[in-house]
Structure 1
């Protein structure tokens, strides 16, 4: 990615109409919302986008739509490795790159099965690099269908090829995060942490930014944290926000992404709560919890004097 200050990279949702058809008007509205909230880049066609429930053409279409809406104001990255041989994955990497993204993201669990070794994983990634010319790439430790964490040592080997410029970390381990950041020093590379329990620690350790589902509720708070985590006189406010992220983590994961779409409805976005996955768990009780959570977030933003986009 181009040189950026520490920033927030939303893991983008995909709006659908009530029949499960992609709502491109809603997607444009959502993209604009992220940009106006101060996002430094956008991660399209990711797990929050329900990428595994999209066809190959839909993956390309939503990515192209997001690139077109951003008009180059911020970089866009998008996942590019799914089922199939390394050769077919390479073909799709090229197709995604042709939409205008700045980097194509390798889904780590799509490169080797859960019972296959790091040697198998490494060999396939190496083959993918050879088949994709000089296309800038990144890694995403996607938790579905299983989570494949890259060791700092292996990540460092791939960074040294100067092809890997982006890493979305889901290790949940600040020691791993620090080691991976160290492995990328001196290279055109940025690590973006998904785990908000140590968001401030990650940023202070040299992470390029944050890329978390929390930004699908209150992106302004995540942007503010990225911009202010290091300012001494704001330490009480920073600690308050960090603790809020820890205390409210569970509620944001229940019935996700339907709950995030419901929350954004409350914020004024004209999108439905429809998903293509199982909507189990989006109960009246969960909805009431989100209603209360929404008020808590509004109060916190007012207390921190962080304006709302909508």
Structure 2
């Protein structure tokens, strides 16, 4: 079961599709193997970048079954939904199948701190014993969750064991949460998203690792490992080699299409299909990704990676 000690890299998995939009189950298997071989200590499926909102309920459960059966690392399942009934149904199914925990983002209808707190009180009640991740991603959800509210959720809801930190800018939030833990607040795991853009700085502020889906997940594993060994310079050198691709993949509206194209080019998934509605890459964009990948490979050789 997921708990407050979770650390490392929980890679956010894409959902592979065939050109006709059907789930590509063979690519699901290959993708799970790839992420684990690249250093993932856990996987997160059915997240925002996993196109969860485009799946049927049956497909969602099917993906959980397939990934859990294939994986040797803990699986976190995104169960965010407009209503609690759908959230509970998927959470119960995922935990019964063998997931380690679930992740919940606040709906955009929440406007006040009190509403956010009440929502997560209700979430904890509905999910029962399932450990959950609070996803803090205001750039997408349009819900700003202050540090004080996160700390109150942590105090009130023992099953909240992790924060997926994606506030932007948000480094000071990590520092504030860790300072509160030093003064006696329950310490939970903090894994960070945003495609790894600020991974090293987040680790230096007290994060426990990454929960994001950059198409080169080995970068995150290597940076976390170097940081854990106390070799900050090595961590910076590794991150710098990948930074142009991290930046390019972070483009709003195209990030997922770029990520899937890269994974297809790497042979991880068979097709770069983004299920409709979704972005498609122009020939010029693909050429730019290829150029960045080639330059990145040269930089990695210089580092002996």
What TM-score results when the alignment is normalised by the length of structure 2? 0.88
Aligned counterparts of 1:273 and 1:291: Cα–Cα separation in 2: 14
Does structure 2 retain, via aligned residues, the 8 Å contact 1:162–1:188? no
1:244-268 CA-partner distances (Å, limit 9, x unpaired) = 4554433113423222222122222
Question: Paired residue for 1:96, among 87, 91, 94?
Answer: 94
1:67-110 CA-partner distances (Å, limit 9, x unpaired) = 1101xx211101112022x34433332223222111111112x2
Gapped regions of structure 1 (runs ≥ 5) = none
Match in the other structure for 1:178:
175
Does structure 1 retain, via aligned residues, the 8 Å contact 2:11–2:213? yes
Matched, 1:56 2:54: no
Match in the other structure for 1:200:
200
Aligned counterparts of 2:138 and 2:24: Cα–Cα separation in 1: 26
Match in the other structure for 2:109:
113
| 3-state DSSP of counterpart to 1:9 | strand
Does structure 2 retain, via aligned residues, the 8 Å contact 1:193–1:207? yes
Does structure 2 retain, via aligned residues, the 8 Å contact 1:4–1:40? no
Paired residues, what number?
297
Gapped regions of structure 2 (runs ≥ 5) = none
Q: RMSD of the alignment, in Å? A: 2.4
1:179 Cα deviation after fit: 1.8
1:284 Cα deviation after fit: 0.8
Aligned counterparts of 1:87 and 1:184: Cα–Cα separation in 2: 33
Which range moves more in the overlay, 274-283 or 171-180? 274-283
1:225 Cα deviation after fit: 0.3
Which range moves more in the overlay, 240-249 or 198-207? 240-249
What TM-score results when the alignment is normalised by the length of structure 1? 0.86
Which range moves more in the overlay, 253-262 or 97-106? 253-262
Alignment of structure 1 residues 220-235 onto 2, 5 Å: 220-231=218-229, 234-235=231-232
Aligned counterparts of 2:187 and 2:229: Cα–Cα separation in 1: 26
Aligned counterparts of 1:235 and 1:89: Cα–Cα separation in 2: 40
1:158 Cα deviation after fit: 1.8
User: Runs of at least 4 residues of structure 1 off by over 6 A?
Assistant: none
Cα pair distance change 1:117/1:130, threshold 3 Å:
same
Does structure 1 retain, via aligned residues, the 8 Å contact 2:138–2:144? no
